[in-house]
Amino acid sequence: MIEPEGVPCGPINHLGQVFDHPQVRHRGMRTDLPHPIAGSTPTVANPIKFSGSPIEYKTAPPTLGQHTEHILSNLCGFSESGIRQLREKRIC
């Protein structure tokens, strides 16, 4: 293979293998967050650990399109009718 030739390489693991790795478990790199559709969602925790101010995880990643209307109206300035037209054209 390529390792004997001095090429840096490593295994490619699926998520179950990643979260089951002893170093990942020891470092607490998995956090489970409540998800509105999936129930509990495994999420990768921040690798930086602060003893005096631990990082808080509040929400799971958003569902597809969960924030679309908010972004289009509040950040992009689209009106309700403009958003409706985008939806009718299946743009969003």
Q: What is the pLDDT of residues 11-68, one digit of tens each?
A: 899 988 999 999 999 999 999 999 888 888 888 999 998 889 888 888 888 888 999 9
- Structure confidence at residue 46 (pLDDT): 92
Contacts by 72-81 with C-beta closer than 8 Å and gap 24+? none
Q: What is the model's pTM?
A: 0.58
Nearest to 41 by CA among 32, 49, 50: 32
User: pLDDT by residue (tens digit) across 13-26?
Assistant: 998 899 999 999 99
